[in-house]
């Protein structure tokens, strides 16, 4: 098997005095292994420079980066490419190579022949121990990442400097003038043919995209013998960036001193482990997702799933604003909210049926500035757009508003979603849709909501018993009847929602305080 030739002649050391040799050897042991990646940025961070840095970090190797292009890219595909001018690529190369003792250079997206030429002259000026060339030409999504004219420059200028070149099936085919590669046998021939073009010492043809293969097969040719590297194919959509990652991990292993065949084997088994760990991750909505190079993301994901931001006890005294009542009493919405919080309201919902959108957003922003410091969540009635615009804590919807599952998908997992329900079927749907709580009513007749049939205390009890979600009772509740509501004593009935009982009163704070003390009283007994 061919070894990587170490440029920079280490045997020179042995002609020096023994003490100096020892000192230099100790120094060498302390040196951090270092890969420089010369590649494009992937905004989605699954491939490109971002994958390279993460792969090297996983291998325990430092990775510096010279950016050749910036791509706008996600799990759907590549939306745009913005090349970095060649002379600025040259400047980045000089900055890193002249100072940072790079062991191995790995290349990714090199969009033009002149970028390749710039790299070749930098490598001549600053030789490194090994060069890994991943001839990135087309992304898996089918988008072109280098101009067709670069092919000749790759073959004539860069590959002769490479210790290993790692084409995927499409790239191997392009290097061979467009022949079709459909089987492992084709991959053997391709590896040998690419080697015989004269350029790189070692060729690895990657078979991630081999059709109808239950294994992930790569073919490695070192100039003497072909080695088939086989692993089970991980069934997952999260394979974006496997090629960049494999090449970077090979580079990292070479930087640590592994022989090339061992570097390739370790890289392949690392990619398989990372794919396996990440097979169920959901990042992005497109067909090909990124995977987790450091195999740590799942801890965090399970933390998010607990929806820690919503505390059902906050439903105890749920104050719903009403612009008509504020107008009647000559109050601003912020004064009303301030007074309710002062009196002990535990959650606020802004219900502005008449307001213009601009005024609603403004009002919501001002109310949030009052609620946040007091740790009182602020919800918006109906208007998901208003909630998103001001980053409110959640939205409350009724049965004829936007379906709760859509509200949830628009707001994401960390916001509060409440749904009005009158019966067990609606309550079941709210739970399935990802709601955090149910508002059940009207419990008693009310003037605040026209044509709203009441469910009574019995209906309230039925909904509570049918649901796993916390429930807040609403409709005609006041200081006079709040006790009877909470006294139905079902564990998931967490509080009462009120409008007129607070906002259609001379002093909001006083009325809120009275109601709060009744509720706290019932809970204590
Ligand atoms: N589903 C999979 N399960 C296991 N290994 C895989 C899978 N897909 C790819 N691989 C391995 O990942 C490495 C990269 O191969 P692949 O042919 O996908 O490269 P690529 O097309 O250049 O990648 P990309 O363009 O997505 O960065 C190879 O070792 C391949 O065998
Ligand atoms: C920037 C960049 N480099 C490489 C690839 C190949 O995966 C990609 N999709 N994007
Ligand atoms: Mg691929």
List, edge to edge, every strand of the sheet that includes 62-73: 78-83, 62-73, 34-42, 104-107, 130-133, 164-165, 202-205, 215-221, 226-232
Q: Are 240 and 376 in a shared domain?
A: no
Q: Helix, strand, or coil here: 452? A: coil
Comparing 9-23, 404-418, 430-444, the range with the smallest average pLDDT is 9-23
Please report the pLDDT score of residue 29 as a whole number: 59
**Per-residue pLDDT for 8 more than 70?**
no
Domain termination site, one of 303, 326, 347: 303
As a whole number of angstroms, the distance between CA 170 and CA 156 comes to 19
How many residues comprise the chain? Answer: 525
User: Is 15 part of any domain?
Assistant: no
Pocket flag, ligand 2, residue 110 (CB < 6 Å): no
Pocket flag, ligand 2, residue 71 (CB < 6 Å): yes
What is the per-residue pLDDT across 67-87, written as a single tens digit (0 to 9) for each? 999 999 999 999 999 999 999
Task: Read off the pLDDT band of 27 (50, 70, 90).
Answer: low
Pocket flag, ligand 1, residue 266 (CB < 6 Å): no
Pocket flag, ligand 2, residue 258 (CB < 6 Å): no
**Per-residue pLDDT for 148 more than 90?**
no
User: Is 19 part of any domain?
Assistant: no
Please report the pLDDT score of residue 156 as a whole number: 92
| Closest atom of ligand 1 to CA, residue 47 | 27
**Per-residue pLDDT for 440 more than 70?**
yes
Q: Are 278 and 389 in a shared domain?
A: no
241 alpha carbon to ligand 3 midpoint, in Å? 7
Pocket flag, ligand 1, residue 242 (CB < 6 Å): yes
Can you tell me the ipTM of this complex?
A: 0.94
Instruction: Decide: 267 and 249 in contact? Cβ < 8 Å.
Output: yes
Q: Are 336 and 462 in a shared domain?
A: yes
Task: Read off the pLDDT band of 20 (50, 70, 90).
Answer: low
Pocket flag, ligand 1, residue 133 (CB < 6 Å): no
Domain termination site, one of 303, 321, 356: 303
User: Is 66 part of any domain?
Assistant: yes
Query: Which residue intervals of 372-435 are DSSP H helices?
Result: 384-390, 404-411, 424-432
**Nearest of 1, 31, 27 to residue 16 by alpha carbon:** 27
Q: Are 344 and 284 in a shared domain?
A: no
Q: What residues contact 156, with CB distance under 8 A and at least 6 apart?
A: none
Q: What is the CATH number of the domain that holds 123?
A: 3.40.1190.20
**Nearest of 240, 231, 497, 163 to residue 347 by alpha carbon:** 497
As a whole number of angstroms, the distance between CA 159 and CA 166 comes to 11
How many domains does the chain divide into?
Answer: 2
Instruction: Decide: 347 and 360 in contact? Cβ < 8 Å.
Output: no
User: Is 219 part of any domain?
Assistant: yes
Q: Are 364 and 282 in a shared domain?
A: no
As a whole number of angstroms, the distance between CA 233 and CA 215 comes to 5
Please report the pLDDT score of residue 304 as a whole number: 46
| Closest atom of ligand 1 to CA, residue 134 | 22
| Choice from 37, 40, 143 to test ligand 2 binding pocket (greatest atom count within 8 A of CB) | 40
Instruction: Decide: 490 and 456 in contact? Cβ < 8 Å.
Output: no
Q: What is the CATH number of the domain that holds 485?
A: 3.20.20.70
User: Is 429 part of any domain?
Assistant: yes
Locate 414 and state its tokens: 């960390």
Q: Are 351 and 263 in a shared domain?
A: no
Pocket flag, ligand 2, residue 104 (CB < 6 Å): no
**Nearest of 488, 80, 55 to residue 273 by alpha carbon:** 55
Please report the pLDDT score of residue 89 as a whole number: 98
Ramachandran angles phi, psi of 358, nearest 5°: -60, -45
Locate 334 and state its tokens: 């912020």
Q: How many Cβ atoms sit within 10 Å of the Cβ of residue 494?
A: 24
Q: Are 288 and 353 in a shared domain?
A: no
302 alpha carbon to ligand 3 midpoint, in Å? 29
- Angle between the 86-97 and 113-125 helix axes, to the nearest 10 degrees? 20
Please report the pLDDT score of residue 12 as a whole number: 36
| Choice from 45, 65, 136, 206 to test ligand 2 binding pocket (greatest atom count within 8 A of CB) | 136
Say which ligand is closest to the CA of 44: 2
Which residues are designated catalytic? 206, 239, 241-244
User: Is 446 part of any domain?
Assistant: yes
Pocket flag, ligand 2, residue 47 (CB < 6 Å): yes
As a whole number of angstroms, the distance between CA 297 and CA 374 comes to 32
Q: How many Cβ atoms sit within 10 Å of the Cβ of residue 157?
A: 17
Strands 437-441 and 347-350, sheet pairing: unpaired
| Choice from 107, 216, 219, 275 to test ligand 1 binding pocket (greatest atom count within 8 A of CB) | 216
Please give the angle made by the CA atoms of 63, 146 and 188, to the nearest 5 degrees: 80
> In this structure, what DSSP letter does residue 11 have?
G
Q: Are 326 and 241 in a shared domain?
A: no
What is the per-residue pLDDT across 356-370, written as a single tens digit (0 to 9) for each? 999 999 999 999 999
Strands 34-42 and 317-320, sheet pairing: unpaired
Instruction: Residue 49: give the domain boundaries.
Output: 34-303
> In this structure, what DSSP letter does residue 104 have?
E
Say which ligand is closest to the CA of 38: 2
Q: Are 116 and 233 in a shared domain?
A: yes
| Closest atom of ligand 1 to CA, residue 288 | 26
- Position of tokens 């496997």? 242
Please report the pLDDT score of residue 290 as a whole number: 97
| Closest atom of ligand 2 to CA, residue 141 | 9
Q: What sign has the CA pseudo-torsion 175, 165, 6, 105?
A: positive
What is the per-residue pLDDT across 294-353, written as a single tens digit (0 to 9) for each? 998 886 555 444 445 799 999 999 999 999 999 999 999 999 999 999 999 999 999 998
**Nearest of 228, 187, 233 to residue 213 by alpha carbon:** 233
**Per-residue pLDDT for 120 more than 70?**
yes
* Burial profile 185-198: b = 16 or more Cβ within 10 angstroms, e = fewer: ebbebbbebbbeee
- Over residues 474-503, mean pLDDT: 96
Bridge partners of 320, per DSSP, are 349
Task: Read off the pLDDT band of 200 (50, 70, 90).
Answer: low
| Choice from 109, 187, 217, 239 to test ligand 1 binding pocket (greatest atom count within 8 A of CB) | 239
Q: Are 117 and 230 in a shared domain?
A: yes
429 alpha carbon to ligand 1 midpoint, in Å? 41
What is the per-residue pLDDT across 367-385, written as a single tens digit (0 to 9) for each? 999 999 999 999 999 999 9
Q: Are 235 and 372 in a shared domain?
A: no
- Provide the whole-model pTM: 0.59
245 alpha carbon to ligand 3 midpoint, in Å? 11
Q: Are 267 and 340 in a shared domain?
A: no
**Phi-psi category of 152—alpha, beta or left, where left has phi over 0 and alpha has psi -120 to 50?**
alpha
Q: In the chain, pLDDT over 90 holds for what percent of residues?
A: 79
Task: Read off the pLDDT band of 13 (50, 70, 90).
Answer: very low
Please report the pLDDT score of residue 238 as a whole number: 96
239 alpha carbon to ligand 1 midpoint, in Å? 7
339 alpha carbon to ligand 2 midpoint, in Å? 56
What is the enclosing helix (H) or strand (E) of 335?
helix 333-343
As a whole number of angstroms, the distance between CA 388 and CA 368 comes to 13
Residue nearest to atom 18 of ligand 1 (CA): 208
Q: What residues contact 174, with CB distance under 8 A and at least 6 apart?
A: 137, 138, 151, 167
As a whole number of angstroms, the distance between CA 341 and CA 347 comes to 8
Please report the pLDDT score of residue 303 as a whole number: 47
Q: Helix, strand, or coil here: 277? A: helix
As a whole number of angstroms, the distance between CA 454 and CA 423 comes to 11
Please report the pLDDT score of residue 523 as a whole number: 81
User: Is 28 part of any domain?
Assistant: no
**Per-residue pLDDT for 402 more than 60?**
yes
Task: Read off the pLDDT band of 183 (50, 70, 90).
Answer: very high
Domain termination site, one of 281, 303, 325: 303
Comparing 89-93, 280-284, 446-450, 464-468, the range with the smallest average pLDDT is 446-450
Q: Over the chain, what is the mean pLDDT?
A: 91
User: Is 43 part of any domain?
Assistant: yes
Residue nearest to atom 6 of ligand 2 (CA): 139
As a whole number of angstroms, the distance between CA 442 and CA 500 comes to 14
Pocket flag, ligand 1, residue 441 (CB < 6 Å): no
């Amino acid at each position: 098997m061919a070894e990587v030739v170490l440029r920079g002649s280490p045997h020179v050391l042995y002609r020096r005095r023994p003490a100096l040799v020892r000192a230099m050897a100790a120094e060498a042991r302390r040196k951090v292994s270092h890969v420089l990646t010369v590649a494009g940025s992937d905004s989605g961070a699954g491939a490109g420079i971002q994958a390279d840095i993460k792969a090297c970090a996983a291998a325990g190797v430092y990775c510096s980066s010279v950016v050749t292009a910036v791509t706008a890219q996600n799990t759907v595909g590549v939306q745009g490419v913005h090349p970095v001018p060649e002379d600025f690529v040259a400047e980045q190369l000089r900055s890193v190579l002249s100072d940072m003792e790079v062991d191995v250079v790995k290349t990714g997206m090199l969009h033009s022949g002149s970028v390749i030429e710039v790299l070749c002259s930098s490598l001549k000026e600053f030789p490194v121990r090994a060069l890994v060339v991943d001839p990135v030409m087309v992304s898996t999504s089918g988008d072109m990442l280098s101009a067709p004219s670069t092919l000749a420059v790759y073959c004539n200028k860069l590959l002769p400097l490479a210790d290993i070149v790692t084409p995927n099936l499409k790239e191997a085919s392009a290097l061979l003038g467009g022949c079709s590669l459909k089987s492992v046998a084709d991959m053997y021939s391709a590896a040998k043919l690419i080697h015989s073009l004269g350029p790189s010492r070692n060729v690895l043809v990657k078979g991630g995209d081999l059709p109808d293969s239950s294994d992930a097969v790569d073919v490695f040719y070192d100039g003497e013998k072909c080695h088939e590297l086989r692993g089970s194919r991980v069934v997952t959509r999260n394979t974006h960036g496997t090629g960049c990652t494999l090449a970077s991990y090979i580079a990292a292993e070479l930087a640590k001193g592994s022989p090339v065949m061992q570097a390739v084997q370790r890289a392949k088994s690392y990619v398989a482990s990372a794919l396996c760990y990440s097979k169920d991750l959901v990042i992005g909505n497109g067909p090909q997702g990124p995977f987790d190079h450091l195999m740590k993301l799942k801890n965090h994901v399970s933390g998010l799933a607990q929806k820690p931001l919503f505390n059902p006890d906050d439903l105890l005294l749920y104050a719903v604003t009403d612009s008509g009542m504020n107008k009647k009493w000559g109050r601003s919405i912020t004064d009303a909210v301030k007074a309710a919080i002062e009196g002990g309201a535990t959650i606020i919902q802004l219900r502005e049926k008449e307001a213009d959108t601009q005024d609603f957003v403004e009002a919501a922003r001002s109310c949030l500035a009052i609620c946040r410091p007091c740790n009182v969540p602020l919800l918006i009635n109906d208007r998901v757009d208003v909630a998103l615009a001001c980053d409110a804590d959640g939205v409350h919807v009724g049965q004829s508003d936007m379906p709760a599952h859509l509200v949830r998908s628009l707001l994401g997992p960390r916001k509060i979603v409440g749904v009005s329900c009158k019966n067990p079927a609606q309550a079941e749907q709210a739970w399935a849709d990802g709601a955090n709580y149910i508002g059940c009513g009207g419990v008693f007749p009310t003037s605040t909501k026209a044509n709203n049939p009441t469910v009574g205390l019995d209906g309230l009890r039925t909904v509570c018993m049918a649901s796993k979600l916390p429930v807040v009772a609403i409709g005609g509740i006041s200081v006079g009847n709040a006790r009877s509501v909470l006294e139905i004593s079902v564990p998931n009935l967490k509080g009462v929602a009120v409008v007129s009982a607070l906002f259609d009163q001379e002093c909001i704070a006083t009325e809120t305080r009275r109601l709060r003390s009744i509720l706290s009283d019932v809970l204590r007994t």
